[in-house]
Amino acid sequence: MNKGYSKPFPILSELISTTYKYKILPQFYNFITNRVYYISLEFYMGRTLQNTMVNLALENACDEATYQLGLDMEELQEMEEDAGLGNGGLGRLAACFLDSMASLGLAAYGYGIRYEFGIFNQKIVNGWQVEEADDWLRFGNPWEKARPEYMRPVKFYGRTEHHPDGVKWVDTQVVLALPYDTPIPGYRNNIVNTMRLWSAKAPCDFNLKDFNVGGYIQAVLDRNLAENISRVLYPNDNFFEGKELRLKQEYFVVSATLQDIIRRFKVSKFGSREVVRTDFNKLPDKVAIQLNDTHPAMAIPELMRVLVDEEELDWDKAWDICVRTCAYTNHTVLPEALERWPIDLFAHLLPRHLEIIYEINRRHLENVAARFPGDHERLCRMSLVEEGGQKRVNMAHLCIVGSHAVNGVAQIHSDILTATIFKDFYEMDPHKFQNKTNGITPRRWLVMCNPGLAEVIAERIGEDFIRDLDQLKGLLKYVNDEAFIRDIAKVKQENKLKFAAHLEEHYKVKINPNSMFDIQVKRIHEYKRQLLNCLHMITYYNRIKKEPNKQWTPRTVMIGGKAAPGYHTAKMIIRMITAIGEVINNDPVVGDRLKVIFLENYRVTLAEKAIPAADLSQQISTAGTEASGTGNMKFMLNGALTIGTMDGANVEMAEEAGDGNLFIFGMRVDDVTALDKKGYHAVDYYNRLPELKQAMDQISTGFFSPKQPDLFKEIVDMLMHHDRFKVFADYEDYIKCQEQVNELYKNPKEWTKKVIYNIAGSGKFSSDRTISQYAREIWGVEPTLEKIPAPDDI
């Protein structure tokens, strides 16, 4: 594949030359009816250097330059810290979306928080997870540029005063938001967008106005309290922790971002700082705000506060503008993940916003009552304020009412939303609800992390698939091509050897590169069912022990992922995985036919190494719990076969690749619902399935923890008596499905044919397709693959 142009690509600084800025760019942006603002509390970017070189077609030039300096490009890349400003899928999705928005020529901005400490680094010590702070900025960040000229004040606390001429929010505490800009280059189209992350700074007079003799030092020290807002990423995935600091973070990013959006809207003339636009009626035509989950939900009451209190619009006009500007993406149906903020906290921290939410709710409930007269229960269900016990604001309800579009992230997830948790809202406003199946950027997740596979594909169908991933369908004509089958298998084997060498170097683990690389990497959570994987490992181990002379398919099972520091069960699951590994890996009867490895500190950079090497991808959540998943798509694109339930995007992956080309098992959503009605009794499966009983007995009697026989008592108790995610109900089908995996792996040619069907079917799962749908169906902008002239082409 061509990694560089014949003439050098213009460096980023050249993109702001005067002629270019004032003559070329305005013409280009005339095609665009509005700007897109993607607000997210997480952007899980990983490393930037190699991705930038790929997108700017500079890989060959940089390789050559470093070589002539006596340096090694790979060594240089390994020195870069991951920007780990996200927990998992939601944050990584935002990063993929930034890449696609730039590559599709959208005038789009990512807005978030510049956390001083990102997702913690995970160490495994004596089998347990130990967290270390991720001081990713300790050597500086060469990709960012501070923009103090755009610093914005953000207000907290205080009280409201109601006057005849409007409401005033007074006696507030001010924190300054300092923006840092990171360039987001599109794929070889001469477009560079911006990710703007806000950092909290205390104002110069912070706490000094009330210091007395001797209070000066304390007042200066107290500046930390304000600056703590952007100190650390909350490490919870799919779990709501109702802490004041978290609500502060959510309002901080929203307030600073909306000030920036409105400043830019008012200025409007390209390259000018003069206020020329004061009519807010055009705001929804010029501005689209996408809320990535409910975390930035405060954008809705904040936009209302700005329009009503500061710009003095009447409520109805302001509300119409607000709804037409905002759109909301839902990422989960798990009740423990839904944000429900206590009213008392709101009243203390954001008193004016609470008043606005009450008014939004009053008018909303009037509309509901008019549509469904006499249905009091529906009013309670649909209220933005939950009564009973501690009163809370339901942020998902706020987002639905305050947005013109609400989307789920896979078809099955969007269907579940309208049929269950948002059913009442769907009946009220069916036109609001859409589906936007997630995607991944093929630049990072194929061209960059798996150049060998990208090369083999390009030799058959050309390079345009990188911009238009649907072209991978063109590989279908090579399914029976012996040379292509050989090439695909060869690339996979090379990737496995490379990853095996990496594991040996960094983890001192020696693995059999001819074994099946069976990988489950994702956050550790009960609903993702790493425990089901554990039960298969134990069952397979027991079978090998029972018949050691049989021809077993060799496997290396790798599980990786972080557990939220406060999630005790998830930490115990990690300890169980490491304990099973200690026994299996040291059993001479088993040898290298089965190995179990916990991949420490799973992150974007480790994913880029592991995914191209995988043979089998495990996507085994209980049907109806994983909104979409995106790791599943990365494995599919990189030539792994999937064993999975009919959950999230797995359903659409099976549609695209063909049902027979994935290993699908287990209950469907309807089966789970039926089992809930009937009652799930784990003990029935335990008594009926001898191999399950044997595995559970081994866990509970200390076979895998001889020094602490009752180490996993809580996990056993959970699985036997209160397992919300019904691990045992899918065990039997899962084990049978794994037998089919073993059989097919013995026939490399047939295995590789299924791999080709999967790669050819993965075009739908490009984030370019996802973003094109958001652009056309929600934001009202038209994506383009047009390349604008580079500065030196003018």
Residues belonging to the active site: 331, 522-523, 528, 630, 634
3-state secondary structure 14-82: HHHCHHHHHHHHHHHHCCCCCEEEEECCCEEEECCHHHHHHHCCEHHHHHHHHHHCCCCHHHHHHHCCC
What is the rounded distance in angstroms from the CA atom of residue 59 to the CA atom of residue 79? 17
Asked if 42 and 115 count as a contact pair (C-beta separation under 8 A), the reply is: no
DSSP assignment of 260-301, as one string?
HHHHHHHH-STT--S-----GGGHHHHEEEEEESSTTTTHHH
Measured distance CA(718)–CA(348) in Å, rounded = 39
Q: Are 39 and 299 in contact (CB under 8 A)?
A: yes
CB 54 within 8 A of CB 62: no
Strand 392-394 relative to strand 166-170, pairing: unpaired
Contact 527, 626 (CB under 8 A): yes
Residues in the chain: 794
Per DSSP, the residues of 307-329 read: IIIIS---HHHHHHHHHHHEEEE
Burial 563-589 (b: 16+ CB within 10 A, else e): bbeebeebbbbbbbbbbbbebbeeeee
Q: How far is CA 72 from the centre of its chain?
A: 32
Quote the CA–CA distance of 446 and 391 in Å, as a whole number: 48
R_g of the chain computed on alpha carbons: 27
Report which of 356, 443, 343 is spatially closest to residue 392, judged by C-alpha positions.
343
Alpha carbons 776 and 765: distance in angstroms, whole number: 17
**Orientation angle between helical segments 482-507 and 748-760, nearest 10 degrees:** 90
622: CB partners within 8 A, 6+ apart: 527, 529, 645, 647, 667, 672, 725, 726, 730
Upper half-sphere CA count for residue 233 (Cβ side, 13 Å): 31
How far is Cα 647 from Cα 410, in angstroms, rounded to an integer?
9
**What's the rounded Cα separation, in Å, for the pair 692 and 680?**
16
Helix (H, G, I), strand (E, B) or coil at 347: helix
User: How many other β-carbons are positioned within 10 Å of the β-carbon of residue 166?
Assistant: 11
The H helix count followed by the E strand count for the chain is 33, 25
From CA 444, how far away is CA 633, in angstroms rounded? 13
In this structure, what token pair is assigned to residue 365? 């409930």
Positive or negative torsion for Cα 741, 745, 747, 750: positive
d(CA 42, CA 333): 19
597 bridge partner residues: 558
